[in-house]
Amino acid sequence: MLKIDNLHVKLEEEDKQILKGLSLEVPAGEVHAIMGPNGSGKSTLSYVLSGRDGYEVTEGGATLEGEDLLDMDPEERAAAGLFLAFQYPVEIPGVGNMTFLRTAVNAQRKARGEEELSSGEFLKLVRAKAKDLQIDAEMLKRPVNVGFSGGEKKRNEILQMAMLEPRMCIMDETDSGLDVDAMRLVSDGVNALRDAGRSFLVITHYQRLLNHIKPDVVHIMSNGRIVKSGGPELALQVEEEGYGDLLAEAG
């Protein structure tokens, strides 16, 4: 599904290398987790994959089902099936959540040559999915993320993910700022989306999210590279020992 090969990325404006030869492959249907200390480049990786400006790829590449990701505009990547749940979802005053979401869903459908959803169809769908995430109608009517609590913002990200039905979901610290109940809602939402044709890259700082969303593979990232990969037990090891020993061992 997602293949990242020897990816080197620097900031466009500064001479600062952030990703330093990162390689990773997430096969279809699998959940991979990336863990790593703050500043190791996790968010940068998610931004570069989804097409944010300000970064320069100096070496290596990334493909989504064989298609070169890095050549596409962000909206093309989205239509191709990539989704990023933001670490800090953005507030957009004056733009209704529903209007935004419907525009996004239909723009993607149009880009893929599919029929657009009528407002009736869309409403029915969004209501059902919002209900599962305990997002009430009032929240849907409000402007995008404005006045949402941290947990509500994250649930709204998952709602968008559920509506857009991407094939490759990247989640950047979706667990940060969530209480136990919100964590369960978000995890249930994600688990409901798991299927053979959909993959996840779950970036997290803590092991606890991975108790709910069981990963197939855990990668440890440090200083712009994957330094170790393993099974779910690697996350437990991080939880118990911290990154110190692991990173020392990886050199």
Partner 1 sequence: MSETAVQTKEVTPQVSGASKAADALEARLGALSLPAGGFTAGARAEALARLRDMGLPGPRDEYWRYTDPRAFNTARPAPLAIEENAPDSPLFADIDKLTLVFVDGEFDAEASDDLSLDGIVIDTLAQADAAGDHWARDLYGVLEASGQSPVKRPFAALNTVAARDGVLIHVTGKPSKPVHVIHRRADEAADVNWHHVVRVETGAELTLLETGMVGARSNGVLEADLAKGAKLHHITSKRAGHQTVGLSHIFARVEAEAQLKAFALSVNGTVMRHEGVIDIVGDDAVAHIAAAALGDGNVGRFHHDDTVFITHAAERCESRQVFKKVLKNGAEGVFQGKILVKPGAQKTDGYQISQALLLDEASQFLAKPELEIYADDVKCSHGSTTGAIDETALFYLRSRGVPYERAIVFLVLSFLADALEEIEDEVLREQINDRLEAWLTRRAKQ
Ligand X SMILES: Nc1ncnc2c1ncn2[C@@H]1O[C@H](COP(=O)(O)OP(=O)(O)O)[C@@H](O)[C@H]1O
Question: Minimum distance between the CB of residue 54 and ligand X, rounded to whole angstroms?
Answer: 6
Using CB under 5 A as the binding rule, whether residue 43 contacts Mg ion is answered as yes
Residue 239's identity, in one-letter code, is E
Residue 105's identity, in one-letter code, is V
Using CB under 8 A as the binding rule, whether residue 86 contacts partner 1 is answered as yes
State the Cα–Cα distance between residues 56 and 54, nearest whole angstrom: 7
Q: Which does 92 bind (CB under 5 to 8 A by kind): ligand X, partner 1, Mg ion, none?
A: partner 1
Q: What share of the chain is helix, strand, coil (3-state, %, to 5)?
A: 40, 30, 30
Using CB under 6 A as the binding rule, whether residue 111 contacts ligand X is answered as no
For Mg ion, the closer CB: 45 or 105: 45
Using CB under 8 A as the binding rule, whether residue 193 contacts partner 1 is answered as no
Q: Alpha carbon 245 to chain centroid distance?
A: 28
DSSP-derived secondary structure letter, 76: H
Residue with the CB atom nearest Mg ion in the bound state: 43
Using CB under 6 A as the binding rule, whether residue 38 contacts ligand X is answered as yes
Question: Minimum distance between the CB of residue 175 and ligand X, rounded to whole angstroms?
Answer: 13
Tokens of 48: 């570069």
Using CB under 8 A as the binding rule, whether residue 1 contacts partner 1 is answered as no
CA dihedral (54, 52, 60, 77) in degrees, to 10, reads -160
Contact set with ligand X (CB under 6 A): 11, 18, 36, 38-44, 54
- Residues in contact with Mg ion by CB under 5 A are 42-43
